[in-house]
Structure 1
Amino acid sequence: MKRLLVIGIGAGDPDHLTLQAVKAIAATDVFFLLDKGEEKHDLVRLRHQLIEEHARRPYRIVEARDPERDRTTSAYTEAVEDWRDRRATLYQQMIDEALADEQTGAFLVWGDPGVYDSTLAVLERLPDYKIEVIPGISAIAALTARHRTSLTRVARPVHLTTGRRLAEEGVTADDMVIMLDARCAFDGLDDYDIYWGAYLGTPDEILVAGPVAEVGERIKELRAQARASKGWIMDTYLLRRR
């Protein structure tokens, strides 16, 4: 049987790698990497760095171009499912061609595989393999650590959602974690504090915290500048009603 590891590598800092992840990388024969284009080459570069530092030779690295996803359609769910199907086909081809029986292959996942990532959902579409998941430091954990605050408050729930859903539905809890908010849907939520971070754990990390009424415009400016400069942005924030 072919063994597949889904390894969480943290939010961007090479030191986020856990001892369990280090051992998993060392046990891998073939690493599968997806190239998302020149703009996001930093994401591939970090993976190469971690493999070089922790893998045991001989090993192989197999790279392929990530299928494009239609980001213009209003049928968001259907577009995501189609993209996952095409990813699954690509994964199957890579595994069939590069991984022999009894060997171990690995996917290095940004953050934590169980938090806002599609790798596990894609692998579910493939025939049975022995799949193991190694958790990692998520962007949420990195965010709260960098802002020196806790994710939860006593006897209060936390809602994890996306910028798109916040824009469409409005606030749904006193404490909310928002992932990837291109719309800056926090705008106008003046009774909330915001703890915002982009490129968490990397040399390009940006952090802003304070009442939305006071720092919201600054976050929008920084986000637009960073997006224009790098060509991509990954940001996360915690909204907390005062």
Structure 2
Amino acid sequence: MSEAGGSDRGRAQRLDALKALLADRDITTAAELADELGVSLRTVQRDLATLRHSGMPIEGDRGRGGGTRLERGWSLGRVHLNESEALGLLLSLNIAEKIGSPLLLGDLRSIMRKVGNAFAPAQTRRIKALRNRVLVGQAASAAVLAGYRPPEAAVTRALLTAFMYQRVASLRYQDQSGVTTDREIEAQFLYHNVPVWYALAWDRLRDGVRFFRIDRIQQITVLDIGFRLRPAHHFLTAGESEARSM
């Protein structure tokens, strides 16, 4: 029986395969899992311990020949997320943590740890970098709320894609005076004054920092043009004072 590769990538693939086997079976044994994966019993036992440590609810019956199963009442089963869904999920959890509800904070940290452990190190680093580009301020002022309307879902999805993948976005924007203009922006940061979202961006057509309220974006197209992150202080100084007035 040969080991299924010693590299980190090979081990990550093996752990994914092990999760799928556990989710697909009501009960199995470590020996059956080892045979299925083509690895030693010791390797499977080590991998099961790794999954337990990451928060996966794996139960084991004691004794020779004891069975192994997922705790079905709490497992999500074979849930597969694409890259955008996974990034969006963890970004949402991070935002919820930044808002800081004392009723949710402990659970959120546990959930983020468990979900984050399912990703490769490179993906985890990317998620942390994205988290640093999301800023949470105060609740929106009464003046701002008076003119607020929830943004269109298609606009939000497109802007989030441009933000996460560092792509230039072409948009039609209506400012607080009702004037409509066409812009090309680099969405460097997202800023949240509950419930209003803003993009702190570099405006390529005006060659400067601009603040855009997302519910005022009328049309948006993600372009096949990448951008680099610019020094944060150019955008952070705009922050709270801009958001309170628009």
TM-score normalized with structure 1 length: 0.28
- The structure with the largest helix share of the pair is 2
Larger Rg: 2
Q: Which has the higher contact order (CA 8 A, sep 6+)?
A: 1
TM-score normalized with structure 2 length: 0.27
